[in-house]
Amino acid sequence: MGEKKPNGQSRARGARDALADAATGLRRRFLDRSARVGVIGLGYVGLPLVSAIAQSGFRVTGFDIDPRKVALLNRGRSYIHHLPDSLVAELVKGAKFEAVSDFARLEEVDAILICVPTPLTRHREPDLSYVVGTTETVAKHLRRGQLVVLESTTYPGTTRDVMRPILERGGLKSGTDFYLAYSPEREDPGNTEYNARHIPKVVGGDGADALTLARTLYDQFVAGTVAVSSPETAEAVKLTENIFRAVNIALVNELKLIYDAMGIDVWEVIEAAKTKPFGFMPFYPGPGLGGHCIPIDPFYLTWKAREHEVSTRFIELAGQINTAMPHYVVERLALALSERLGKSVRGARILIIGVAYKKNVDDTRESSSFKVMELLEKRGAEIAFHDPLVLEIPPLREHPEFGGRKSVALDRAALKRFDAALIATDHDGVDYKLVADTCPLVIDTRNACARNGIVADNIVKA
């Protein structure tokens, strides 16, 4: 008697069982940390993520298109200030981390975490070219049973509507052959209290298996995971976090303008207000927004909202206030030069202190210092800068004319050559007393002098 052939129902049941076994096997490898994890993009988000994953016991392959970065990392060297060489060297030496530029090796990893830039176009619309290009590369090497997670900040719908169709072009299906999720990065460069391992991760999966697998992976190396109902919700969470900061920074920037007109120190106001143990959260003014998130992410939502015929007046107003701050700072400098030194901006020698976008990091992305420098040079000022963490300005997308300029020394002889110093970034490693004692005029946009107990008539807050 011939062997009985399986019917359609039994074949379907067998396929479901095989899929369940594959998901179970992947989850087991995540739990015992025998899985290999791939991280695409080894910048200010990707490299700290690599560190967190590898330190927890996983083997990590880092992918980057820049061969110089790859070579440097494989020699045990770091190019990020707050991630020391010793840590990278330890991971490389222990065979926990390897950097590569050969994307064919994506086939070797069990999970692919994507950390690539999501900038804006010149028309302030989302530029997903890095996400799309990376996804197309992943699709070429995608194999059954892999988990793919996007970490880049983006608008709701990107993971499901943009990435999934590209990944499925080769015939593999999300939730059936591979697993797709979104988990936004929450990296805060320079934060010594919270690093990638100590911050909970929000996770939204394209299906129940994807959610379970992504949570299982992240639970092995972060402080915990927060599951949400969909990738779209997780994408919205990230935007909400950054819009919250952008709007509140705009609020204190506007309050600075108002209180300055009244002769009130906004910094003193904030210090007093934050003693209230409820209902108030301190945010601080500055010369403008910087970093890859806060100046950019709100406009991802405003763009997406237009698709649904919804206006985002509050977000756009906050953007207008924040982008106007460099102009305000330059006007305050011009007024102080005229009233105190009898000089105009044209021909004045100005030292910008700090070109990183925030204190104690070497990250210059979207730094408002460059807009201030641009405005001053257009008005005829002679500009130099000092930054203890940025010895040379890297290539810049928005301000290519500043790329390659080198930081000048901060000593008494050097400071005497300048008419004014403008504190744009309040790094801890700067001798602010020397600056205040030597420069005829100090424009302090970060309250750095007052915080260091330095009070002098030549200091102007802006």
Structure tokens at 356: 């990183």
- Whether the per-residue pLDDT at 30 is higher than 60: the answer is yes
Statement: residue 438 has pLDDT above 50: yes
Tens of pLDDT, residue by residue over 179-191, are: 999 999 998 877 7
Helices (H) and strands (E) in the chain, counts: 15, 13
**What integer pLDDT is reported at residue 5 of this predicted model?**
56
Mean pLDDT of 249-272: 97
The three-state (H, E, C) secondary structure of 83-113, written as one string: CCHHHHHHHHHCCCEEEECCHHHHHHCCEEE
Supply the mean pLDDT for the chain. 94
DSSP string, 301-343: HHHHHHHTT---HHHHHHHHHHHHHHHHHHHHHHHHIIIII--
Residue 3, pLDDT above cutoff 60: no
CB atoms within 10 A of CB 57: 12
Note whether 386 and 407 are within 8 A (CB).
yes
Q: Is 439 among the catalytic positions? A: no
User: Which single residue is written with the structure tokens 């924040």?
Assistant: 322
Q: Is residue 320 predicted with pLDDT exceeding 60?
A: yes
pLDDT of residue 19: 67
- Say if residue 231's pLDDT is above 60: yes
Statement: residue 459 has pLDDT above 70: yes
Please report how the helices 313-336 and 297-307 are oriented relative to each other, as an axis angle in degrees rounded to 10. Answer: 140
Question: Model confidence at 9, in pLDDT bands (50, 70, 90)?
Answer: low
Model pLDDT, residue 397: 85
Q: Which residue in this structure is represented by tokens 């939204």?
A: 204
pTM of the model: 0.91
pLDDT digits (tens, 9 = 90+) for 132-148: 999 999 999 999 999 99
Q: Can you tell me which residue has the tokens 């143990």?
A: 277
**Can you spell out the DSSP letters for 368-433?**
HHHHHHHHHHHTT-EEEEE-SS-SBPPP-SS-GGGTT-BPPP-SHHHHTT-SEEEE-S--TTS-HH
User: pLDDT by residue (tens digit) across 281-302?
Assistant: 999 999 999 888 888 999 999 9
Whether residue 197 is predicted with pLDDT greater than 90 in this model: the reply is no
Q: Which of 115, 293, 439, 449 is catalytic?
A: 293
pLDDT at residue 1, as a whole number: 45
Q: Is the dihedral of CA 260, 262, 265, 271 positive or negative?
A: negative
pLDDT, tens digit (0-9, with 9 covering 90-100), for 366-411: 999 999 999 999 999 999 999 999 999 999 988 999 999 999 999 9
Three-class secondary structure of residue 77 per DSSP: coil
Residue ranges of domains in the chain, CATH in brackets: 8-228 (3.40.50.720), 246-461 (3.40.50.720)
Q: Are 164 and 132 in contact (CB under 8 A)?
A: no
User: Residue 412: pLDDT band by 50, 70, 90 thresholds?
Assistant: very high
Helix, strand, coil percentages, rounded to 5, for the chain: 45, 15, 45
